[in-house]
Structure 1
Amino acid sequence: MLETVTAPVKDHASSHVNLTWLLAETTAIQALGTSAVLIVPALAPVIAANLGVPSNYAGYQVSVVYAAAMLSSLMGGSFVAAFGPCRTGQIAMALVAAGSLLVGIPTLAGMIFGSLAIGLSYGLINPSASQLLLRHSPPARRNLFFSIKQTGVPIGGMIVGIVGVRLAVSVGWSAVLWMLAATALALMLALQPARRVLDGERTRPESFLRSSIAGFEIIRSNRSLVLFASTSFFFSAIQLCLVAFLVVLLVEDLDVGLVEAGVILAAVQVMGALGRIVWGLVADRIGSGSLVLVLLAALMAAGSAAVALIGSAAPLPIVVAIFMLLGLSAVGWNGVYLSEIAGRSPPNAAGSVTGTAMFITFAGVLFGPTLFSLAHGVLGSYIASYGLLAAFGVAGGALAIAARRASSSR
């Protein structure tokens, strides 16, 4: 059982880290960070009406968040090296709190600056968590540990959908943001007692700029890392298009009721959380996360092609089953991917390399939905536009196969 397992800390032989606590801490940070990212789009109709802007402005807000996340992910390794991974997690939670408080002020300026703070926080989360999990998790269960931590993403989505929306109706949307800020501050303070142990190996980089580009240099010098990082552009594009456009696809293309469509979306998120754990276990069992990524790419491509080819004519239960398969794969790849990136990083460079890799991942989040929307404009159907996602899956799979070959040739 995880409760009984501890991991020795390098250079601190007398100190031990409780792995259950470490998993809970990194997963909670991920869940709160994700909640902060998703809360404004989820409450867009109410917030937009209050601010006097169209609800589709939520798309611009998401772009601001992920643009800031791309920037801070590049600095994530510098923060981890200078302050330690635990302190970096605390900084991320402080930014979530500040951003949520600002967004909760019903002004466009508060929305813009708050969204920037939330995005900056989101880019710091994976570099800090990757450094901690790579250092302390047992190598034989590394994929599982990374995958459990990544369940914080769908958990954050479910918190927003189940709790956040209902609280917004009962107490107002600003109050929801302030509650999120209070929770982030509480978690930040709860991390403090463990900092002495978890941040024992921090170093002061010569310069933040040099440390920030170190991840680029490491990835550029390793062909397999270049290829694996590139797969995440396509995987993240598929994931966000699936989640962002599923409800409108069901309602407009298949005449599904809004409430029923919301339930299907929630089920897809649950499948994603389950998939992250299942694929982590599979990767550890077969000893190859890269092979699992190839399999996941095939499932994404096949599922997306099935939607595009038979989605309009097949019975609804069949279509829903296909979306469950996509939830299992397109929302379930992240933990194995991050484990592969961290595992291929030089010692003490997991934070920097992960941050750089996440820059590419966030680029897929930014550009994927735009390309999908353009496809919809040309084809006139969300279902037909899934042909683009099938092509993304094929491209991601080809890159994953090339990465495996590059790894075996080293």
Structure 2
Amino acid sequence: MLRLDRPLRLLLLALGAMFAQQTFASVGRGLPSVVAPEVIEELALDPAWYGIYVSLAALASLGFQLGCGSFILRYGALRLSQVALVMLAFGLAAGASGLILFFILSAIIGGGGAAVSTPASSHLLGRYSPPRYAPLVFSLKQTAVPAGLLLAGLLGPALAGWTGWRMTLLVAGIACLGFALMLEPLRHEFDSDRILSQRFRMSDFWTTLKSVTGTPVLRTLAMACFAFNGLQTVFTSYFIIFLVEQGQDLASAGGIFSAAMLVAVPGRILWGWLGSVLLPPRVVMAGLALGMAASTVLLGAFGAEWSMLLVGLTAAALSATAMSWHGVLLAEASRLAPPGRRGAATGGVLSFGQVGAFLLPLAYAACLSLTGSHGLGFVVCGLPALLVGLALLRGGGRQQAEPTAYSTAT
């Protein structure tokens, strides 16, 4: 019988636990977008208003990610992972009420829960990952995001057709609570690095932000995260609504969306492997950024003569880029973080992603409201990715020559 040494066993256990945690978190955050067409129809809402919900969730995520570093250090990454799932459960339950006030609470609580899950899991994996292969390990963990969205796209419409959208949200919330309880036996090992003397201070927000903006390599990652996460949020929030307004039923739209998400799973692994073995992570991210921009131009050119197969292929190209950057970027943020501050640095970089997730859906909603064009919204939201891609190419491989080596993240 094959026996694995303890470090490898712990790495595999951490990877498995955080993969599952991120899957549940992704389902919890993605499901409202999947059932949004039914919510909009039942409550007689303008689709452009959904961008407000998405942006409010991103604004809440910004605050939680900037402030979660101290809580990760004090209570442990696994405990914060559990807290994230509990918050998502309550957010889904609030949305199931159908009341506007509770939708606001849903965006804040659910957005905060989803935001905490990634820095917490990154802090935990950073302890156990071999530094050289961190991009691959983080990419494997982050394949849970498209996997969760795939499940949401497949199961969401089926459950909504069977039980209604309200019960669908409640079922997902119960699942998040159940898995949070299942993580408890792992806490003794994975939260063994807690610093009980750590205290949260309001200045932590500024400290985290300054640690990112004051470090050139982290600042570059923050700008990339702004563009990438903003476009990802637009894609996952509006693509199904876009398809339904083009005449697709919810089940078919969910199927196309899930097929596109499926592409992101091997995509994340491939980009993580390239960033670990063949190319500098900065170059990989530049290629992804340019691919995102090109995909949005194609989606913006959508016309009535397009077949759904062609739309699906374009969506798959966008998914392979806008849904597949996470492992490479997160591994770089963890690598370049000060010792013992992986969670805080990752949260700081991701907070800029939440700014993008706040602003770009608003830009998309404005384009949709003013022109009625989904295509123009996608093109506008792809422009930041184009600018980031060009900036990363101009920077070349300089980031690799920074004095901060992989060993600082261990």
| Aligned-residue offset at 1:189 | 1.6
| Aligned-residue offset at 1:110 | 3.3
CA contact (8 A) 1:7 1:138 kept: no
TM-score, normalising length: structure 2: 0.86
Matched, 1:303 2:292: no
CA contact (8 A) 2:36 2:241 kept: no
One of 62, 66, 78 as aligned partner of 2:70? 78
Matched, 1:139 2:127: no
Aligned counterparts of 1:309 and 1:59: Cα–Cα separation in 2: 22
Query: Partner of 2:198 in structure 1?
Result: 205
| Aligned-residue offset at 1:195 | 1.0
| Aligned-residue offset at 1:357 | 1.1
| Aligned-residue offset at 1:406 | 5.1
| Aligned-residue offset at 1:154 | 1.5
Matched, 1:95 2:59: no
Q: Deviations over 1:153-173 (max 9, x none)?
A: 222222222223222322333
Query: Partner of 1:54 in structure 2?
Result: 45
Aligned counterparts of 1:198 and 1:247: Cα–Cα separation in 2: 38
Matched, 1:195 2:187: yes
Q: Give the direction of change, closer, same or farther, for the CA distance of 1:222–1:274 in structure 2 (3 Å limit).
A: same
Aligned counterparts of 1:58 and 1:380: Cα–Cα separation in 2: 14
CA contact (8 A) 2:86 2:177 kept: yes
| Aligned-residue offset at 1:136 | 0.5
Q: After alignment, is 58-67 or 190-199 more displaced?
A: 58-67
Q: Give the direction of change, closer, same or farther, for the CA distance of 1:251–1:42 in structure 2 (3 Å limit).
A: closer
One of 112, 115, 136 as aligned partner of 2:107? 115
| Aligned-residue offset at 1:26 | 1.0
Alignment of structure 1 residues 321-400 onto 2, 5 Å: 321-376=313-368, 381-400=373-392
Query: Partner of 1:233 in structure 2?
Result: 226
Aligned counterparts of 2:158 and 2:251: Cα–Cα separation in 1: 14
Whose relative contact order is higher, 1 or 2, with alpha carbons under 8 Å and at least 6 apart? Answer: 2
The gaps in structure 2 that reach 5 residues or longer are: 404-410
Aligned counterparts of 2:257 and 2:74: Cα–Cα separation in 1: 40
CA contact (8 A) 1:147 1:277 kept: yes
Matched, 1:130 2:122: yes
Instruction: State the SS of the aligned residue for 2:194.
Output: coil
Aligned counterparts of 1:386 and 1:112: Cα–Cα separation in 2: 25
One of 282, 285, 288 as aligned partner of 1:293? 285
Q: Give the direction of change, closer, same or farther, for the CA distance of 1:309–1:159 in structure 2 (3 Å limit).
A: closer
Instruction: State the SS of the aligned residue for 1:43.
Output: helix
Matched, 1:38 2:30: yes
| Aligned-residue offset at 1:368 | 1.2
Q: CA RMSD in A?
A: 2.9
Give 1:178's aligned amino acid: L
Q: After alignment, is 54-63 or 320-329 more displaced?
A: 54-63
| Aligned-residue offset at 1:243 | 3.4
Q: Deviations over 1:350-378 (max 9, x none)?
A: 10011111111011112112223444566
Query: Partner of 2:164 in structure 1?
Result: 172
Aligned counterparts of 1:101 and 1:381: Cα–Cα separation in 2: 32
Q: Deviations over 1:11-57 (max 9, x none)?
A: xxxxx85333222211222122222222223223444566x452635
Instruction: State the SS of the aligned residue for 1:37.
Output: helix
Aligned counterparts of 2:60 and 2:211: Cα–Cα separation in 1: 23
Q: Deviations over 1:40-95 (max 9, x none)?
A: 23223444566x45263543332332221111111121111110111111111221
Give 2:380's aligned amino acid: L
Query: Partner of 2:147 in structure 1?
Result: 155
- Matched pairs, number: 399
Instruction: State the SS of the aligned residue for 2:202.
Output: helix
CA contact (8 A) 1:379 1:385 kept: no
Instruction: State the SS of the aligned residue for 2:97.
Output: coil
Percent identity reads 25
Q: Give the direction of change, closer, same or farther, for the CA distance of 1:267–1:331 in structure 2 (3 Å limit).
A: same
Instruction: State the SS of the aligned residue for 2:52.
Output: helix
| Aligned-residue offset at 1:409 | 5.6
The gaps in structure 1 that reach 5 residues or longer are: 9-15
Q: Give the direction of change, closer, same or farther, for the CA distance of 1:174–1:219 in structure 2 (3 Å limit).
A: same
Give 1:29's aligned amino acid: Q
